[in-house]
Every structure is written in C-alpha cells, then in structure tokens.
Amino acid sequence: MKKTSFKIFVVVCLLSFANAFIGCSKAKVSAVEVSTAENESLPEAAEMSVEKVDLKRFFDEYKVEGCFVLYDKKENKFTRYNSKRCAERFTPASTFKIPNSLIALETGVIKDENEIIKWDGVKRDRAEWNRDHTLDSAFEFSALWFYQELARRVGEKRMKKYVSDFGYGNTDISGGIDQFWLRGNLRISPDEQIQFLRKVYENKLPVADRSVEILKKIMLAESNANYKLFAKTGAGRNGAKRLGWYVGFIERNGNVYYFANNVEAENGNENFMPARIEVAKKILNELGLLEGK
C-alpha cells in the first residue's frame, strides 16, 4: 500500500508540473504575441491607380499621340491616360535641364541662379538664345548651348555618378557629354519622370537643400492665390517622329501633384509645340488643379 501510494503521489506531482509548464509557456506565447501586435506599424495606404480613357480627346484635339500621368501625393493616387506608353522610355530632351541644373549647382560649376555665362557668339535658330544667360534665364528659354556648357564643365565622370545616384531613367549617359540627353542613349519613361520629381521635391536626392531650392525657383512657371506650377518642356525625336514633354509639379491646398505629359507627332504637325503644354494644362484643368479654389 505504501509503494502504491508513493507511485500515485509521484504521478500526481508530475502531472501538476506538466500543466504548470504548459500554462507558463502559453502565457509567454501570449505575451510575445501581444508585444508584437503592439509594436507593429500600420501598413501604408495602398497605392491607387485610375485609367482615364476619356482624356484621349485632348490629344485628338491637337492631332497628336501621347500619354499623361498625374500623382496625387496626399491620396497616394495615380491618374493615367495610356498607361502602357507611360511605362515606355524616351529621350528626356530638355527635361534633363532639371537634373542638369542640380548637378551643376552641386559640383559648383555654377554658383547660383544669377551667375552669368557669356554667349559663345554662335547664332542659333532661337533668337532668345543668342545672348548671355543666367541659370534662371537659360532654364526659362531652354537655352541649349548654356546647358551643354554646364555639362562639359561637370565632365563625364561626375555626370555619370550623379545620374546614376539619382536613378534617372536608364542612367546611360553614353553618346557625348553635351549630347547624351538629346541624341545619346539616355532614356526615361513618364512614370520615371514622376519618380524623379518626387525625389527632387521631397529632398531624397544626394544634393544639398540649397540646390533644390534654387531649382524650384527657376522651375516656377505660374503662381497665383490658388496654386504654384513648376514645370519644364522638352522636344526631341522618337525615331521618325517628333517627341514632346511637359513635366513638373503643382502645389495646391497643402498638397503636391506631380505630372508628366508626353506627346508625339509626325513631321510638319503645326500643333506639336503648343500641344506639349496645352494638352497638359487642359487635362490639369479637367482634374480641377489649375482653376478655382
């Protein structure tokens, strides 16, 4: 009887110990789960994307092909016309004056927006190019010779590093230090234009705040009580066709909207040059970003 009692006692003790261990383990697991749940950050709002086929009518009005993309920062929302083309890469043409300005300021080849570079005396097709320019006026009139001179002063090694660090399009600057964004191999898509502009505005590039502030000054195209429009045009070639850009961002009601308009037309299309800007502005008006309160 004594041996049996002792065995029963041992079994009871072992069962009690096991239950206590399991209970403690469960408590620890629960504590870990609660701690993890409390420390998890909430996921960011999902990115939204809307395709607006009806925007085609603005391109048709000017007899051009193209695409348009807008990013609403506050809503984390993209609005596109012709999404497939928005993802295709094209020569940046004069929209490269945006990163070129930043790189020139960062490397010190020009000190600010007011420094003058003397005209080289070569007469060009656009009369407004045939004079001395500052960074500010050269950006406004898209003076090609001025930005070619900046690029030569920057040099291929530094230019390549900055374009790569910026993650600008395909980052390929082959084709000549003063030609690569025109007739060389550099390519960027409308969607990538938006990505780059966001990095500019949000100071996420490896450049000084001062350089970004100067860039914003020279990019300012329109300003009124309702909004500020910062933008740059571009014109180049896409094979046998003419290629046009109008890219930038809008500050309005405490929000920022980034946009890229891309147009293409046959040679001889007289609507091509105005279409770059006017199609974009008509779409921006349609979306309620340039007019009213």
Say yes or no to pLDDT of 39 above 80: no
Residue 240 confidence (pLDDT): 93
Q: Where are the domains of the chain?
A: 1-40, 48-286
95, 182 contact by CB (below 8 A) = no
* pLDDT interval class at 13 (50, 70, 90): very low
Say yes or no to pLDDT of 33 above 60: no
* pLDDT interval class at 42 (50, 70, 90): very low
The CA distance from 262 to 90, in Å, is: 9
Q: pLDDT tens for residues 260-277?
A: 999 999 998 999 999 999
Which residue type sits at 16?
S
Q: Which of 83, 94, 101, 189 is catalytic?
A: 94
Say yes or no to pLDDT of 25 above 70: no
Q: Helix (H, G, I), strand (E, B), or coil: what is residue 260?
A: strand
261, 279 contact by CB (below 8 A) = yes
Percent of the chain past pLDDT 70, that is, above it, reads 84
Three-state secondary structure readout of 3-67: HHHHHHHHHHHHHHHHHHHHHHHHHHHHHHHHHHHHHCCCCCCCCEEEECHHHHHHHHHCCCEEE
State whether the Cα torsion 253-256-257-260 is positive or negative.
positive
The CA distance from 86 to 75, in Å, is: 20
Say yes or no to pLDDT of 84 above 70: yes
Residue 20 confidence (pLDDT): 44
Rg (CA), the chain: 29
Q: What is the mean pLDDT of the chain?
A: 88
Interstrand relation of 255-265 and 241-252 (parallel, antiparallel or unpaired): antiparallel
Say yes or no to pLDDT of 15 above 50: no
Which residue type sits at 223?
S
Q: Tokens 């300005």: give the residue.
A: 101
Does 35 participate in catalysis according to the annotation?
no
Q: pLDDT tens for residues 44-75?
A: 567 899 999 999 999 999 999 999 999 999 99
Q: pLDDT tens for residues 159-215?
A: 999 999 999 999 999 999 999 999 999 999 999 999 999 999 999 999 999 999 999
Residue 46 confidence (pLDDT): 76
Q: What dihedral do alpha carbons 22, 24, 26, 28 form, nearest 10°?
A: -150
Q: Helix (H, G, I), strand (E, B), or coil: what is residue 175?
A: coil
Residue 31 confidence (pLDDT): 35
Say yes or no to pLDDT of 87 above 50: yes
Which fold would CATH assign to domain 48-286? Answer: Beta-lactamase (3.40.710)
Say yes or no to pLDDT of 35 above 50: no
- Taking CA atoms, 185 is separated from 48, 179, 209, 238, in Å, by 32, 9, 29, 12
Q: pLDDT tens for residues 252-264?
A: 999 999 999 999 9
